[in-house]
Amino acid sequence: MLSVFCAFRRLLSAVLPRVLGRACRALALGACLVAALVFWCGGAGAASAGRQVELTDANRSYPLGSGMWLLPDPDDGLDFEAARAAFSAGKFTEVQSERPRLDFKWKAAWVRVELVNRTAVRQWRFWQPHPMPDYIESYFALEDARSEKDAGRFQHLELFSRHAPTRYPRRGLTIELELPPNTPAVLYLKYRGRLQAVTAEVSTHERFDSSYSLAQLAHGVFYGTLLALLFYNLVLFFSLRDAAYGYYVVHVGSTLFFFFVRNAHIGEVPFAIGFGEFIAQRWELTTVIVHWMIIIGVTGFFRLLFSTRIIAPRLDRVLKYIAISPLIAAITVLLTDGRFGDSLAGLSQLAGFVAVLSSGIWLWLKKRHPLAPIYLTAWFALLLVSSAYVMRYFGVLPYNLWTEFAPQVGVGSEAVLLSFALAYRVRLLQSEKAKAQEEARNVRAERDVRLAQERALGLTRMMEATDAERRRVARDLHDGLGQLLSGAKALVERQKLASSESVGQPEELERVSDLLQQGIQETRSISHGL
């Protein structure tokens, strides 16, 4: 098997990088690994079908399929006496599988198991873990179980899954059995409800408690992870005021609520048990509301994560319509007996999941959106492990630790990866903001340079105009006023020569000549200075 897996891994390594890229290759390898572990772990404890279930080891659990006889009851019309008569008439079928399947169309089915205790331990426990049927009716008798002549020897007990939070401890529906050593016993079980795989087991109390401790640890890790992510993103929602975190909180919170209601009896906490019992009274309406909240969270988160209103307006409108589709299921539950309400809500949720998954693939292939690979990895991880759980539910895969906690693993992986997607989205938004700020700074710098150049050009032009004006004034002074003063001085000099004989007049002309000479020099100085 290891060589086949290695060869398949080499084939994936050679082909997938060209087609789907690194993200899908890692996802496919993970799928192969999980499938191999599921089948390997499931096949390790397989046993051949027999007429009896022999309890030889007090440290292990015994699936009842190895010694089971099955009688379909499609119309739920057979009582215990009719079932015993049918077995005496040979109408029961010997089961050839450790995990027998029941047809989904059957309303009920009768199961007969013969037990022989080969150990010294007398106290054993029958338990039907998840998935639980709606109802189990049991008949148990000791001593000479094959004859079954006296129906009064059978102990009768009815188990209802809706009473699991308060009446049945820990993991599912349980029946206490006292099996003396080497004494044959017979157990009749009537399963009623939508259960496709009988996953019942018989084990000692110690074995049951050890498996319960592991279940507590697994559920503690699961709920702790979801609660941490829930409060962390709730703080980010109030800090950043980003609606994407709000839809993430709605999605994770509603999923956490769903699993809390589903496993309320596991924790054995008083408020959890009472709350689960309260929810069980109107489980149809509760199921619809939880499905609705999950759809609102999933579609709203997708729309804001990828900004579909901007890049894909039509897709955004489709997702809005899907988000309100469970309203039909809610109306159905309120106006009818509620038989179809949870189914309609489930179909709406399935439509929402298919829509966001196909939309994510489209955004990856067509738009090359950077968040699409992380989002698709989260959803494919959820679909992978959920498919394993569903296949276990229908009896295709065995009941083991991997398939039992597959929903928790899938939901936890999806929540963690979607939280990474939100963190990466914030990083992208910060990068876009920094880029926009850098572009704004560049625009401002270019504008400042342009304004400085314009101011410099204006100053140059103004200086040139001022210089031209100075030259004009200097020229006017030199050519205009200077010439006039020079002409006036020449006239004074000539008048001074002509009237040199007059008394006192030459002195006055001398002073006028000096003043004109000073005016000429000042005019020349100003002209040269300009």
Q: Tokens for 18, please give them.
A: 């060209």
What fold, for 53-206? Immunoglobulin-like (2.60.40)
At residue 326, φ and ψ (nearest 5 deg) are -65, -10
Radius of gyration of the chain (CA): 47
Q: Give the Cα separation of 249 and 229 in Å (integer).
A: 8
Sequence-distant (6+) residues with CB within 8 A of 444 are none
DSSP per position, 8-34: HHHHHHHHHHHHTHHHHHHHHHHHHHH
Q: Give the Cα separation of 332 and 344 in Å (integer).
A: 9
Q: Tokens for 265, please give them.
A: 């009896």
Q: What is the structure's pLDDT at 10?
A: 47
Sequence-distant (6+) residues with CB within 8 A of 98 are 45, 46, 47, 49, 63, 65, 66, 398
CA distances from 236 to 39, 353, 378, 427, 469 (A): 41, 25, 21, 14, 69
Question: What is the reported pTM?
Answer: 0.58
Burial category of 444 from C-beta neighbours within 10 Å (exposed 0-12, middle 13-18, buried 19 and up): exposed
State the DSSP code for 194.
Answer: S
Mean pLDDT, 10 residues at a time, the chain of 530 residues: 41 40 47 44 37 86 81 89 90 79 81 91 82 75 59 72 53 79 89 72 84 74 86 87 88 82 57 64 76 87 90 90 83 72 72 86 88 88 78 68 76 86 84 88 89 86 81 70 68 67 62 70 67
**Minimal CA–CA distance to 266: which of 195, 198, 164, 135?**
164
Q: What is the structure's pLDDT at 461?
A: 84
Are 28 and 5 spatial neighbours (Cβ–Cβ below 8 Å)? no
Are 91 and 152 spatial neighbours (Cβ–Cβ below 8 Å)? no
**Minimal CA–CA distance to 300: which of 422, 428, 427?**
422
CA distances from 522 to 282, 510, 527 (A): 114, 18, 8
Measure the N-to-C terminal CA separation of the chain; round to a whole number of Å.
Answer: 104
Could you give the 3-state DSSP secondary structure of residue 176?
strand
